[in-house]
């Protein structure tokens, strides 16, 4: 998995930069990927912010420790938190960088390819109520792009 994360980090950072360059998307300050490892029923979560330098810090999360993500994966729908202040911190599984980003709203989208869970992408915005339906539609398209990157990383030659 370390090799996958090392490969994924740079193109994922470039995708975040592309999103932030879209008109109206500057408040999108944080993006994290959580890559699902079905062998261990575990997520490998790491930030992929456009302004990050160096290798990302990876947080391992067992799916049994994140029941809300299990439900989200089964629903195939994104979860929107309009104002993080109302949501609180209890029980949240995030990378250290996600916690430090001071995001006011978030969108967590499951990534599936051919009916198989690949992971999740977590978007964090600096303002509450950022994830309007048009923003969600745009980010769901980028979620598919993150899924393609994960699939490509899984198939890297040894």
Question: What is the per-residue pLDDT across 1-41, written as a single tens digit (0 to 9) for each?
Answer: 688 888 998 999 999 999 999 999 999 999 999 999 999 99
φ and ψ of 119, to 5 deg: 150, -150
What's the structural domain count of the chain?
Answer: 1
Q: What is the CA radius of gyration of the chain?
A: 14
Domain range spanning residue 89? 2-154
CB 35 within 8 A of CB 7: no
Q: What is the pLDDT of residue 56?
A: 86
- Note the pLDDT tens digit of each residue in 72-130: 999 989 999 998 887 665 445 444 444 455 789 999 999 999 889 999 999 999 999 99
CATH number at residue 148: 3.30.450.40
d(CA 28, CA 20): 6
Describe the crossing of helices 133-154 and 2-21 by its angle, rounded to 10 degrees. 150
φ and ψ of 58, to 5 deg: -100, 130
């Amino acid at each position: 998995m370390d090799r996958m994360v090392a490969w994924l980090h740079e193109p994922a950072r470039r995708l975040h930069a592309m999103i932030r360059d879209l008109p109206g998307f500057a408040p999108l300050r944080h993006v994290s990927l959580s890559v699902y490892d079905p062998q261990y029923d575990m997520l490998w979560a790491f930030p992929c912010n456009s302004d990050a330098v160096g290798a990302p810090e990876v947080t391992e999360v067992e799916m049994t420790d994140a029941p809300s993500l299990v439900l989200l994966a089964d629903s195939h729908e994104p979860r929107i938190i309009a104002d993080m202040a109302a949501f609180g911190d209890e029980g949240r599984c995030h990378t250290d960088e996600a916690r430090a980003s001071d995001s006011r709203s978030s969108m967590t989208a499951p990534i599936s390819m051919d009916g198989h869970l690949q992971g999740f992408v977590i978007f964090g915005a600096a303002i509450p109520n950022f994830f309007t339906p048009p923003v969600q539609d745009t980010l769901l398209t980028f979620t598919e792009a993150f899924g393609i990157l994960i699939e490509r990383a899984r198939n890297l030659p040894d």
